[in-house]
Structure 1
Amino acid sequence: MNDWHPSHSGDWTALSTMLTGHGGGIGEYAASYVTDLAPGPVLNGRVSADIRLTERWGTGAGLVCRADRDWTFVAFYTAPQVTAGTAITVARIGVFREGMLTPVAQLSEPVVLARGYNHFSLEFFSGRVRGEIRTGERTYELLANCPHVPFPGYAGLVRLYSAGVLAKSVVVERTQLPFVAPAVAEPGGREFAYDVFLCHSKEDAVEVGRIAAALAEKGISYWLDSAQISFGDFVTQKIDEGLQASHFVIPCISKNLTKGGWTKNEYGAILNAEFSGDSSRVTVPLMLAGAEVGDIPMTLRDKRRVSRTNKVEFEEFVNFLRSH
């Protein structure tokens, strides 16, 4: 256990068969983490551990992946939450960037931890993240798209609110296979509910709506936020479902595309998957009216793109979608 690197040396102790952490932590969440340096940086893989919190309520702990040494990592963890005056424990996926936390997803039901050890696992592949907690009584599962940290990093554990934590049977594994089994239709391959997922800036909603209508006239099914997200829906969850159910993800290129964070998160998850060799979904940049090459995000510039204003090219693209 000598290859573990703690965020602060006094917050964690590596014993022969166990990691322990007590007190300490920094920032609003009194957080501290420790990573396993032995396997080296991991892009796609899994980390698991049997974790015991010395206090089940009002504390938090979990696992991290793609972590660097400067407080940037993806985490799956438990945390306290007060709902209607009652304290409960919830499970979340979040991103720490230089110590600043961005929540990504939360399990809809409370988590009841066992008094002893609970088995935590965190799988990550091409921007997809799956967290699981097995308590002995039942299993909790949380999935999310999380393209925020695309680089390889280390895996390990995290503590929040200065929690006391005991961890054993820690395992870090690499993988080249997606952890979510594809939905396959025999014998023709994967089925998708939508041919395309239209990713766009809200400023371009009118033009993209016209494009959606034009695609529909040609028999191309589409996912579009204005059509699929209703009042009261959880936006992140609906977007995640749309991405999973779409064959092609279409970033609609304009000067507005990179102004908001949502669009990059949407196409970024699929682009990361492609970089890792998963071609089940494909990104195709679509140039809107007035868009220029300089408006295309750098990660998309090597992609063959299609112009909305070039009628011949756009028709060729529609035929391509039909054939796939």
Structure 2
Amino acid sequence: MSSWHSFSDEDWTFNPGSGSLFGHGGGIGDFATSYAVDTSLGTMLNGRVSAEIRLTSPSGTGAGLVCRADLGWTFVAFHTMSPNPVDHTAVARFSVLQEGVLVPVAQLPEPITLSRGYNHFSLEFYSGRMRGEIRTGKHEYELLATCPHVPFAGHVGLVKFYGATMVGRSVTAERTLMPFVTSTVLERTRRRQDFAYDVFLCHATADAPEVERLGERLRERGIRCWLDSGEIQFGDRLTQKIQEGLRASRFVLPCISPNFPKSIWAQAEYGYVLNAELGGDASRTVVPLMLADAVLQQIPELLQEVRRVNTRNQVEFEEFIAFLLSH
């Protein structure tokens, strides 16, 4: 636990044996705030952090997780807050601390009741989108927010308020390359029957033979594919058929190759869905597929940070097929 950094040794104690962090007393500002971050992971712009958190006195205190934290009192926090010492309920909030000033951003309308044992907190952050979740054993709470206030990479860790005494354990964190999927989106995306096709294969004309073989591999595994060679007949209007295929497909798979950057049609196809996705329509998703001769430099700039699939890696390709079938 020597990688953890706090701003007052009197506020936090790290126990390497148990892997736990103890927060006790201290804090600055009107909310007596104190936080500790794990510097071993470096800084993250997009990612996820989770922990088991126990407040020794759930009433009148607060605690949670931070992301994009620097070492100078700036971070985004997903946390509970219970300023009334006689009330056994709390509120769940997203807040931003900038140079020591705490600003609430969003709050769950319903009050929450924390367990007297450990409660599971998780915080996902991607661009300006935030998702926080608390599981108490009896209840699950979810809060979504747009929080563009801290647009730079930072550390992840734990935070406490009002001089709270707390224990944090099982802290995990990971970087992500794809936007998180909220429960609301999952309700919409898991209905496979809403789409006639699982995937739309978007490719350069020169790669047609390789992509057709790829389509056969997918169909053999039960994946429903839209591929122009089988869907567009003589006399069909190209634009209309492509638009119909895009609307009817759950995932759009740009097939990356040396030929892909030169294909105007391919760029237009994935761009149609990518623009909708960036605008908040998560019903369809773009996932780049790396063909046999593809290199990273051939991935379009807007897809550079999107998680991709290497068709030459059999293990990764099998995992992707399992992902498609599960969604």
Same fold (TM over 0.5): yes
- The letter of the residue matching 1:133 is I
Task: Deviation per CA, 1:81-130: give whole Å up to 9, x if none.
Answer: 55xx9563100001100111111110111111111100111110111111
Q: Which residue of 2 aligns with 1:151?
A: 152
Q: What value does the CA root-mean-square deviation take over the aligned residues?
A: 2.7
- 1:219-258 → structure 2 map (5 Å cutoff): 244=280
Rounded Cα–Cα distance in structure 1 between residues aligned with 2:87 and 2:114: 16
The 3-state SS of whatever aligns with 1:188 is helix
Inter-CA distance 15–47: structure 2 relative to 1 (3 Å threshold): same
Tell me, in whole angstroms, the C-alpha distance in 2 between the residues paired with 1:4 and 1:190: 48
- Please say if 1:106 is aligned against 2:102: no
| Deviation, structure 1 residue 190 | 9.3
Tell which structure's C-alpha radius of gyration is larger: 2
Partner of 2:11: 11
Identify if the C-alpha distance between structure 1 residues 34 and 190 changes in structure 2 by more than 3 Å, giving closer, same or farther: farther
Cα separation, partners in 2 of 1:158 and 1:190, compared to 1, 3 Å: farther
Distance in structure 1 (CA, Å) of the matches to 2:46 and 2:3: 20
The residue number in structure 2 matching 1:89 is 90
SS at match of 2:52: strand
Question: Equivalences for 1:109-120 in 2 at 5 Å?
Answer: 109-120=110-121
Q: Deviations over 1:137-161 (max 9, x none)?
A: 0111101011110100000000100
Quote how far apart the aligned CAs of 1:7 are: 2.1
Check 1:35–1:189 CA distance in 2 against 1; reply closer, same or farther (3 A cut).
farther
TM-score (norm 1): 0.57
- Contact 2:178 2:305 (8 Å CA) reproduced: no
* Counterpart-to-counterpart distance in 2, 1:275 and 1:98: 34
SS at match of 2:114: coil
> TM-score w.r.t. structure 2 length?
0.57
Deviation at 1:180, TM superposition (A): 2.1
Aligned positions of 1:87-236 closer than 5 A = 88-180=89-181, 186=195, 188-189=246-247
| Kept in 1: contact 2:44–2:155 (CA 8 A) | yes
Aligned counterparts of 2:97 and 2:248: Cα–Cα separation in 1: 34
**CA contact under 8 A between 1:81 and 1:87: conserved in structure 2?**
no
Q: Deviations over 1:193-216 (max 9, x none)?
A: xxxxxxxxxxxxxxxxxxxxxxxx
The count of aligned residue pairs is: 201
Give CA-to-partner distance per residue, 1:162-212, whole Å, 9 cap, x none: 000101101111111111266667353499xxxxxxxxxxxxxxxxxxxxx
User: Contact 2:59 / 2:87 at 8 angstroms: preserved in 1?
Assistant: no
